[in-house]
Structure 1
């Protein structure tokens, strides 16, 4: 991109960061994604070609290092890149507090499930393999069912039936589940209002909200 022609450090920083998708790629790297396919899951609407281009730009700017090990490429933030955590966290908090009104185009089941998977508190889950199915209303059938599998201290999300016994099924619209994850509404309020249903044995049904929790966004105070 062309520069701003200003000595201001904000202008110089934005010459690197204000191209479309760039800060979201940094967000994904800060969240722990380090391989190309992991990054793609965090920005599912970004084309692979554009992701490759942005990664090259960030590498040239000294924000990331690219390493090849055994034929597999790994991307790691440099000291410069890790320092952007304060920028991303500040934008995250500002967006939660002051930018509302999610449109239909803002709702993405791929990103929601990926973000849930990587932010679970595994310590809240049973030690044995546990599967929770999500049935999403109001979306295309191809993305309406998801399986969250937690086993051996790790979590995985599948858009196909992995063939394991299901402990619980969460039925919700994509919008309502997104609102819960963002912290716009609590599990208790959503369940009480009937917007979300959990099908499971009684002991499990009461635990599912604790297992799933909410995203980090839910901890950000909203304006009065």
Structure 2
């Protein structure tokens, strides 16, 4: 790999691989269990297929990812070197939760949110059989307003078209509120009490939903205390 920084420092050498756009997010997806190209794409929906393929090739060449042929399908897994990145990626995530809490409109993506949420469904808590959880984001365009998480004995999936089975519970929320809840900026009790999130459906399912959808592992990251800004300028000193 050609040197980008011209430094012997190990941090510089590592960043020659890791600071390419999307690279750590591809590692994140592999950490979270994505194994096939299409699953990886769903975790980075704004990344082009060509660039994803290029990043996987680069990571494989660097010994971070290994490529496996499984019949007619190709799978990707982290090597020992790749697995050593897991605490680093998690630490970056916790740092981001603590120190970069702001969310712009461009950061909000219903597909990415539901894809992340579906990976955390507690299948042991969900009743046996087929369970559908519907999501409605009233402020979005009709083409992206409704989503579904479907839980069956075969696994959990995300649908952007009606799966044809009545939902046990429907979550009505703004995309921003549900995203902030998922990140841990808000909590279930608070958003339900305030009416920012409204649940429709079977009473038992409404009560159980927070157990079915435990929050992301980063949600419990302690937030720093936000100090009030110190006034400056004429007359800004402490009162006498």
Equivalent in the alignment of 1:103: 104
Equivalent in the alignment of 2:25: 24
Is 1:84 the equivalent of 2:56?
no
Distance 1:16 1:198 in 2: 45
Secondary structure of 2:124's partner?
helix
Structure 1 length as normaliser, TM-score? 0.96
Equivalent in the alignment of 2:126: 125
How big is each residue's C-alpha offset from its partner over 1:21-63, in whole Å with a ceiling of 9 and x where there is no partner?
Answer: 0000000011111100000000001011111111111011110
Structure 2 length as normaliser, TM-score? 0.90
Task: Return the structure number with greater helix share.
Answer: 1
Equivalent in the alignment of 2:203: 202
- Is the 1:133–1:168 Cα contact (8 Å) retained in structure 2? yes
How many residues align? The count is: 224
Equivalent in the alignment of 1:48: 49
How big is each residue's C-alpha offset from its partner over 1:163-192, in whole Å with a ceiling of 9 and x where there is no partner?
Answer: 112111110010000011111000111111
List structure 1 runs of 4+ shifted beyond 4 angstroms: none
Q: Give the drift of 1:12.
A: 0.4
Secondary structure of 1:206's partner?
helix
Secondary structure of 1:164's partner?
coil
- Is the 1:122–1:153 Cα contact (8 Å) retained in structure 2? no
Select the structure of larger CA radius of gyration. Answer: 2
Secondary structure of 2:151's partner?
strand
Distance 2:201 2:171 in 1: 9
Secondary structure of 2:6's partner?
coil
Is 1:188 the equivalent of 2:189?
yes
Equivalent in the alignment of 1:144: 145
Distance 2:201 2:169 in 1: 5
Q: Which runs of 5+ in 1 are unaligned?
A: none
Structural mapping, 1:144-183, within 5 Å:
144-152=145-153, 154-183=155-184
Distance 2:68 2:154 in 1: 27
CA RMSD across the alignment: 1.2
Q: Which runs of 5+ in 2 are unaligned?
A: 226-240
Q: Give the drift of 1:123.
A: 1.4
Q: Give the drift of 1:204.
A: 2.1
Equivalent in the alignment of 2:231: none
Secondary structure of 1:155's partner?
strand
